[in-house]
Amino acid sequence: MTVYINGRIVLVERRKSAGTLQKAGSKHGRVMMRHVRIAALCGVCLAGMANPALAQQVTPTNESNELGLEDRNPAPVAEPIVVTGSRIVRRDFTAESPITTIDQDFIQDSGPATIEQSLNALPQFQATQGSQTSAITGGSGGRANANLRGLGAERTLVLFDGRRLQPSDTSGAVDLNTISSALISTVEVITGGASAVYGSDAIAGVVNFKFNNRFRGFELEGSAGISELGDAATYSGSLTWGGDFADQRGRIFLSGSYLERDTASQNARAFFDNQDGTSSPTSGLIIQSGRNPFGFGRPQNVAAFRNLFANTYGTSIPGVSSSYNINADGTIIGRNGALNLRNTQGTGYIVAEGVIRQRSLYDSTVQLPIERYTGFGRGEFDITSDITAYAQLNYANYTVDQTSASGVLQSVVDPIQIPVSNPFITPDLRILLNARPVPTAPFSYYFTGTRIGRLRVEEQYDVYQALGGLKGQLGSSFGFDVYVSHGKTTQDSRTFNQISRSRFNQVVSAADGGASLCEGGYDPFGFAPASQSCSEFLTIDTANRFTFEQTVVQGNLNGQMFELPGGTAGFAVGAEYRRNSYDAAIDPRLSPQPTGTPGVTTAPEVLGTSGQSSSGGDIAVSEIYGEILLPVLRGLEFDLAYRYSDYDRIGGVHTYKAGANWTPMRGLTIRGGYSRAIRAPSLGNLFAPREGAIGIIGRAASGGGDPCDVTGDARNGRIEGVSRDQVRALCIAQGVPVSLVDGYTYSGSANAAFRIGNPDLQEETADSYTIGAVLQPLFMDSVLDGFSLSVDYYNIKVDDAIGYVTSPIALNQCYNFGGQNPDYDPQNFACQLIERDASGLLANIQEPLFNLAQYQTSGIDFQIDASLDVANVGRLFLKSAVTYVIDYKIQSVDSEPVRDYAGTVGNAQIDGFSSTHPAWKHVTTLGVGGELGSLSLRWRYIGQQDNSIIVTDPNTDAEGVPAISYFDLIGRLAVNDDFELRGGITNLADRQPPEFGGNSVTPTSTYDVIGRRFFVGATARF
């Protein structure tokens, strides 16, 4: 493996001989000192020496410059170089921003995997939800994204050879599934804003995939992997060809690849043995209903109800409760304390933390299956010695197909009403219903549809991007590049075994229980699966289509201007036009005609959906930019850039940057810079229709949940500055009945939520600072063949961040957790977002979208590279990349305090899922290599993290996760010059994921839930 580091970059490329390495370039960094204390930096340097990071072998030279400094960064190749983060052509690899570069070997060391799995091993990245995990439980439908610094995939710009790729969704994020690893020579990652160079979205940084245009002849690559349990099989293969024609005036590159990833059984893994399954209140929960449903009815009926629990069941008499479950024998379960829960081994219920939950009846997968094909073609032709025409086509088609462990989760927003005439009402349930004030009133029913049919979702993506252009030289001092590109993404989403609202109502309202409509009818209170006839009658399939298009027209001119004491000043100028559009064609059964407010539906035909409507929109921008490189002295240069962007939706915005690179003495380079970056609101931010979401609020027992829950912190006076009595009064004012408020519980950890786009959004702005040093002392050359240590501080602050007022924020603000509602006023803005049903349960929470948030993160990256020739063994090498996160601060709205989530797990404010922000994270490789191959041990470390609840509730006893280390063993064998074998074991010690937030719960995208895996691979060239 070769990993290239930001301190000194040496490109290493394989010749046709698999055992030979050739150096092709190297680099100094550059710096401008801002916003870091000298003492802290010194301490960091010492820490970096003690805990080495990742660096690189360098090539000494005897040449000297005017300062008497040894020039250890010659550019042995004549071909011009463009470094990620700049458009100025240079003769060596220089950048004022920290750059980490990985090569194809690093990607292959993860076995047959998608690219984001390899990138996520680097400490700068945070895994995103949905690429490997379920598309049904709120993931991203199999899309794989790059998420730098945990600021969200939409704030990381992904490029291919410095050009924008085709977006994959309404956020504008690029799906890395569309890139075949066979095309990549290196991947360059820079930290901090780069909007002045590339435009919108480059807030957290840039990931630039560099095309390997040195292919000549054929290269066949294949790999296969499988877990120790015999599942999670993954296969990949690619065939690439490159050749010349017309006396080498023309060049053609063609490549195709295939990847298949199978499922992995959840039930086969011991970690999931204690998994709760689906939590109530969306699992077989019965709610009393009717006029004034919260007192009791006639005295004789009340007496029968009390006798049922006190004498028949021999349990305590439950308080006046709004909800009950039913045992398999037809008896009633009182929810408070799970009274009368019977035969837990033989039914669908278990009790966890005093909460009744429904077991998962079927196995689920912990790896999202995918089948992917990619095709790539690139052609170049030298029209003259100075002008080259080129064209490129990138195509990907992939499918993810998953069956859920459960059926449809019916929404609490518009529950099914069952009439008291339903013949399946059990005798004990009848006693309960008769005790109501209105015994004949229908009652609400919440359920999962597992007994009717398991939910299955198939997502198919079809993505292409075509471009063509001219590039070349204008005289001896100027170069140009003009191109046009157009791309289109089509996503077809089909969902099977959804439940028809109208047919379900027909069945449960029929006097015979639906027996006249389907065989046996349907018992809504039973545990047996529905008959095949009823399953077919009650279920429907739906199909949605989402289309995203992008057109880019861009022209760039670069060259040299005038001489300065340090060399020739360089410049780059350009203009760009970009238009993005999307169209969402929603199945008409999911989006009936709106009632009242445009785009809002109240009762879609499909249960468990929110009535999403078809929608669409576009946004366009025209831009001009300029960049200048000023080598003011030998060893000191400045890089300045500015861009003006005129959006048809938000108007004009300005971005700029200033960076510096200084080599004050031999072996030491200091670099740094400042940049102002922006992110324009995405198509989804502007035009997304009102649609349902899952609001993750946690559990009362763990410090989260509904503040009205009597078991929670707010109702028990455990939150500083929050009055338990005023919380109780506010709960009543919001709709929790007085008769229920002192026994009210909300056992779920999630609620129904609604989101909608906001066409009035403005751009996000970000200020980034970096400062660092690269140490390559000459005295180390006598000890090691190559040594490089870099230490870089980064600080990124995002203002006016586009984000949702999430369900936890609305609850916390409404109930004055942060002092935002000191009068406990039910008319408070946050309180108005919360809707409760007639029993006081959370029905839904509106999650509006605003320019309201502030995100700020800072930290220090350490990277080290060292190697040593060992006689009769080969080259011993050490490479390490370490990140220490100083802070990760979020201010959700301007009335909220700024909260620091560094070193915590579970916060979901940025990406909607349980994010991880360990203070320490690193990847370190120790190995030995020679002409015959290499053997290396890779150590992936994720530090300990507290539960994020501690940020808002310092007294919580909610547990976080411990530190975890994964070790991978990778071997390579060069059979001959044109054939290489490789193999490895990932998660060598078979480490189980840490548990977080409940039984068998873990952030599945961060931690390894598959276990020990084995892989083999081969590369042949001919």
Residue 434: exposed, middle, or buried by beta-carbon count in 10 A (0-12, 13-18, 19+)?
middle
* Alpha-carbon distances of 382 from 247, 379, 475, rounded to whole Å: 10, 10, 16
Instruction: Map 922-977 to HEC letters.
Output: EEEEEEEEECCEEEEEEEEEECCEEECHHHHCCCCCCCCECCEEEEEEEEEEEEEC
**Bridge-based pairing state of the strands 27-29 and 93-95:** parallel
Which of the pair, 76 or 139, is modelled with greater confidence?
139
Residue type, 549: E
The tally of CA atoms less than 13 A away on the side-chain side of residue 543 is 3
Report percent pLDDT > 90 for the chain. Answer: 46
DSSP conformational letter for 1010: S
Given a cut of 50, is residue 490 above it in pLDDT?
yes
pLDDT at 21: 27
Q: Compute the mean pLDDT over every residue in the chain, rounded to the nearest whole number.
A: 81
Structure-token pair, residue 281: 């209140």
pLDDT at 746: 81
CB 100 within 8 A of CB 5: yes
Distance separating alpha carbons of residues 770 and 98, to the nearest angstrom: 8
DSSP conformational letter for 239: E
pLDDT at 809: 86
DSSP conformational letter for 993: P
pLDDT at 527: 81
- Condensed to tens digits (0 to 9), the pLDDT of residues 430-453 reads 998 888 778 888 887 877 788 888
Alpha-helical regions (H) of 271-420: 299-307
Q: Where residue 592 falls among pLDDT bands split at 50, 70, 90?
A: low
What values do phi and psi take at 488, rounded to 5?
-145, 135
Q: b/e per residue, 980-990, with b = 16+ CB within 10 A?
A: bbbbbbbbbee
> By C-alpha distance, which of 92, 83, 90, 77 is closest to 26?
92
Residues 6+ apart with CB under 8 A from 990: 228, 1011, 1012
- Condensed to tens digits (0 to 9), the pLDDT of residues 965-1015 reads 999 999 999 999 899 999 999 999 999 999 886 666 788 888 999 999 999
DSSP codes of every residue in 389-435 = EEEEEEEEEEEEEEE-SS--B--SSS-EEE-TT-TT--HHHHHHHHT
- Condensed to tens digits (0 to 9), the pLDDT of residues 390-400 reads 999 999 999 99
H or E element that contains 219 = strand 217-227
For 670-685, what is the mean pLDDT?
A: 93
CB 78 within 8 A of CB 200: no
What values do phi and psi take at 722, rounded to 5?
-110, 125
- Condensed to tens digits (0 to 9), the pLDDT of residues 196-244 reads 999 999 999 999 999 887 778 999 999 999 999 999 999 999 999 999 9
Q: Where residue 754 falls among pLDDT bands split at 50, 70, 90?
A: confident
Distance separating alpha carbons of residues 200 and 208, to the nearest angstrom: 15
For 598-623, what is the mean pLDDT?
A: 74
- Condensed to tens digits (0 to 9), the pLDDT of residues 530-552 reads 999 999 999 999 999 999 999 99
Residue type, 57: Q
Residues 6+ apart with CB under 8 A from 592: 601, 603, 604, 605, 611
CB 549 within 8 A of CB 465: no
Which of the pair, 860 or 357, is modelled with greater confidence?
860
Given a cut of 80, is residue 8 above it in pLDDT?
no
CB 965 within 8 A of CB 941: yes
H or E element that contains 85 = none
Given a cut of 60, is residue 599 above it in pLDDT?
no
Q: Where residue 11 falls among pLDDT bands split at 50, 70, 90?
A: very low
Alpha-helical regions (H) of 674-780: 683-687, 724-734, 738-741
Alpha-helical regions (H) of 789-864: 807-814, 829-832
Q: Where residue 177 falls among pLDDT bands split at 50, 70, 90?
A: confident
Which of the pair, 595 or 575, is modelled with greater confidence?
575
DSSP codes of every residue in 578-641 = EEEEEEEE--TTTS----SSTT--S--SBTT------EEEEEEEEEEEEEEEEEEETTEEEEEE
Given a cut of 60, is residue 13 above it in pLDDT?
no
- The distance from CA 617 to its chain's CA centroid, rounded to whole angstroms, is 24
Q: Where residue 761 falls among pLDDT bands split at 50, 70, 90?
A: very high
